[in-house]
Structure 1
Amino acid sequence: MLRRVFAVLLLCAVGTAQTRAPKVTSDTPKTTPPIFEINLSEVSEYGSMPWAKDWPDPHQGYCSGDGSLYVWRWPPGQGLAGFTPKGIVTFLASQMTDIPTPSAHGAFISESAVYVGADSIENPEQQVETLEDEEGHKLTLRRTTGKRHQYIARFDKDGTYKGVIKLDLPFYVYTFAAFGSGTLVAQGMDENEIPRIALLDSSGQLIRYLQLEKDMTAVSEVPKKELNYGGGSADPGAIVMDSRFIPSQTGILFLRSLASMRVYEIQESGEVRAVKIKPPEGYDVEELITSDRNWLVRFRRPNPNGVWSDAEHSLFEVDPKNGDLLGEYRVKAPDTGVSCFFDNEFWALRNKDGKLTVARGVAEPHRGK
C-alpha cells in the first residue's frame, strides 16, 4: 500500500515542485534528475500467452488506460491479442471476412476501440520464379500478385469486429492513430517518396495535410542522401517506417524514432505543438511510453564499437511543456522495460519459460549506485 501511495505522490508532485523552484538562468548549474527503481510483479489473473523461444522479445505492448495490455500475435500478419481482466481477447485479420486475404500491420488503441491496419490483395495469384545467383545456385522466388488495397479495421474492446475503412489516399500509410470521435491522423510516403502526414475523417477520406515544424513533411523534396539515425544513417523511407503515434491526455503524440529530438502533439483540429526533448548526453530519443501523467521517454545511446544490440537504454520522465528531464526510472531485474504508466502503476510484458504474462508495479527511490 505504501508503494502505491508513493507512486501517486511521485508523478503528481513533480509539477508542483517545479512551480516553486527559482527561475533558471544561464548561470544556474544543472541538477541531476532523481533516480527511481521500478519493481514489477506478475499479475496472474490476466492469464498467459504461449511465446516460442525463437520469436523476438516483445519488449513493449500497447496501452490506453482501459486496464488491458495489447501485443502483436506472432508470426506477423495475424493481428493483436489483448491481456484483459476477462482473459485473452483477440483482434485478428482472420475476422476481417469482408476483405480478401487481409494481412494485419499497424495498430492503435483508443479509449473506446481497437484499430488494426490491414493490407489486402484482390484476386491474388501465386507466381513462382526461378533465379540463379553468381555462383550458379538456383533460387525459387514465390510472390503474390494482384490489386493491393489498404484498410483500417475497427474492433470493440471485447474483440467484436465492426468492419473496415477502405483507404484511397495519395500516399501509403505506415502508421496511424484515432481520436475519440473517429477522426484519424496517418503518416507515410507518397509515390514521389515525400513523407506525408494528414488528417482523415472517420471514413478515411483526406481532410488536409499537416506540416510539422523542422520535419521531413515541411519540405517539398527529401534529400537524396541518408539522414542521421541512431548514431548511424538511414534513408527517409526507413525513418518514416519507424515513426510512431501514441495517445496522450492532451492529444496524439508523434515521434520519428532515433531521427529527431522533437515530439509533436497533434490536436483533432490539426493544430500541432512541437516540444524539443533534452536527452541525456550522447542519447537519442527512441520511443514514447504511453502515460496518463507526464511523458515517459525511452532513450538510446549507441555503442560506437559494438553492434546495434549493444546500445544502452534509459527511461526518463519528461516535462511535456519544455522537454526537460524530471526523473530517471530503472527497471528492477528480471524485467528490462515497461509498456505504459496508468493509474499510478507501471505495466509491462514479461517473457519467461515460453509464455508472455503481464506484470505491474510502482517506483521507489533508487538506493543503489
Structure 2
Amino acid sequence: MRRKTTWVAIIGWLAFVGTGIAQDAGDVPHKLVKTSTVQSSSVASESLLLPIKCDQDGKVYLQFMGDPMAPAEDTKSVTRISRKAEVDAQFALKDASLGDQYTGRDYAIDSDGQVAMLAETPEGYTVVRFDKDGKFKSKFLLEDRLRPFQLALFKSGQLLIAGTETPSEGAPERGAVPFTAIFDESGKMLKEVSLEDDKQFTKGALEGDSRYVPSGNHNTNRAVTLGESVSGEDGNVYVMRWASPAIVYVISPGGAVLRKLTIDPHEEEMRPRSLFLSKGRVAIQFADSKEPLLIVANAESGKVEGTYSANLELGGGLACYSTEEVTFVGNKDGKLALHFAQLQ
C-alpha cells in the first residue's frame, strides 16, 4: 500500500477572529458581517476533512469523518449540501467497483456540478468521475511515477493533477520533488507543467527545512501536499503552493503558465489554508495557530483589494466565496449549519 496523504481534520469549529495584521500602513482588516444562518434538519454536525469546496450555485461539498477516532484518510465519499443545509447529492467511491481496499483523497467540481475524486487503491491512484447527480461515469488509473495530492478540472474535461514524484526504497527523496501535469479523460498524460518555485521547494524539503517536511522525513513536500488546485471561471486552473507568501500559478488548458500571483499576509507564520475564485478575484484563507485571515486579490495582477476578519458567530469552515457573499460551515444545536456573511 502506498504511503497515505496526511489530511487536516476539523475537530470542532475554528472561528475567524479579529486581527491587527495589515497589507499596507493603515490598512485595517474589514469585518465579515453575518446576514443569516440556515440550520439543517437532518445532517448532524460531524468532524470534517479539508478542503471544503463550493460550486457556482453556492452549494457546499464536504467529506465527513464518520468516526471521529478514525484516521483522517478514511473517507470514501463526497456529500453535496444545498443552500438550505440539506443533503443534495452524494458521490460515493463504492459505486466505482474499486475492490475492498480504497481510500478517498482530493476531489474537484466542474462548472456543471460534475465531480472527480482521487482514490488510493492497492493497484495505485485512480481518478473516478461522477455526473452532477452522483452517478458513476468512469475511472482510470494514473501512472506510477506520480503521487497525486490535488486535482482540478478544465472545461474540456481534461484534468490537472498536482503531486510529487513517487518515492521508492532506492530513491525516497523522489517524494520531495513536485510533479504537475495535465491528463486527458482517459488518463493519458498530455503535458508536464514546470513551475519556477518548485526547485526551491524541493531543495528545502531535501535539506530538512521544517516548513516543507516533518522532522526526519525527506520523502514529502508540504508546499505541494498542503496546497490546493481550483478551476477558474476563465477556463484556467489556479495552483496554490503552501508557502508564505502564498504562490498561485495560473495554468491554461494547454499547459502554459500564464502568470504567477504572490499574495503576502505580511506575517511568516500565516500559511494559506484554502483558495477560492470569483469574478476575477482570488480569495485565500490564511491561518496560523491563533488567527485566520481572508485576503482578496485581483486574479490578473495579484494586487490585494481587501483583507477581512470575522467573529465567532460564523463558524470555522470557510466553504464558499463570491464577491457578494461568503459561506461558512458550522454547528448549531448539534446540527450542520450554514452561516452567510457579506464583505463590508
**Structure 1 residues 106 and 281, CA, compared in 2 at 3 Å: closer, same or farther?**
closer
Pick from 271, 275, 286: which aligns with 2:261?
A: 275
TM-aligned CA deviation for residue 343 of structure 1: 6.8
Equivalent residue number for residue 295 of structure 1: 282
**Structure 1 residues 120 and 223, CA, compared in 2 at 3 Å: closer, same or farther?**
closer
Distance 1:168 1:60 in 2: 24
TM-aligned CA deviation for residue 197 of structure 1: 0.7
Equivalent residue number for residue 245 of structure 1: 229
Equivalent residue number for residue 199 of structure 2: 216
Pick from 37, 41, 58: which aligns with 1:67?
A: 58
Equivalent residue number for residue 5 of structure 2: none
TM-score when normalising by structure 1: 0.71
TM-aligned CA deviation for residue 167 of structure 1: 1.7
Q: Work out whether 1:359 is the aligned partner of 2:343.
A: no
Decide which structure has the larger Cα Rg and report it: 1
Tell me if structure 2 keeps the 8 A contact 1:63–1:339: yes
Alpha-carbon deviations, 1:161-185, whole Å to 9, x = none?
Answer: 1121222342121211111111111
**Structure 1 residues 34 and 174, CA, compared in 2 at 3 Å: closer, same or farther?**
closer
TM-aligned CA deviation for residue 70 of structure 1: 0.5
Equivalent residue number for residue 102 of structure 2: 102
TM-aligned CA deviation for residue 326 of structure 1: 1.8
Consecutive unaligned residues of structure 2, counting only runs of 5 or more, are 1-23, 67-73, 168-173
**Structure 1 residues 81 and 228, CA, compared in 2 at 3 Å: closer, same or farther?**
same
Aligned pairs (5 A) from 1:51-90: 51-52=45-46, 55=47, 61-75=52-66, 76-84=74-82, 87-88=86-87, 89-90=89-90
Distance 1:236 1:229 in 2: 14
Pick from 314, 318, 321: which aligns with 2:300?
A: 321
**Structure 1 residues 33 and 319, CA, compared in 2 at 3 Å: closer, same or farther?**
farther
Determine helix, strand or coil for the equivalent of 2:94. Answer: helix
Determine helix, strand or coil for the equivalent of 2:128. Answer: strand
TM-aligned CA deviation for residue 97 of structure 1: 2.4
User: How many residues were matched structurally?
Assistant: 297
The one-letter amino acid of 1:92's match is A
Equivalent residue number for residue 120 of structure 1: 121
The one-letter amino acid of 1:158's match is D
Equivalent residue number for residue 148 of structure 2: 173
Distance 2:313 2:51 in 1: 15
TM-aligned CA deviation for residue 235 of structure 1: 4.6
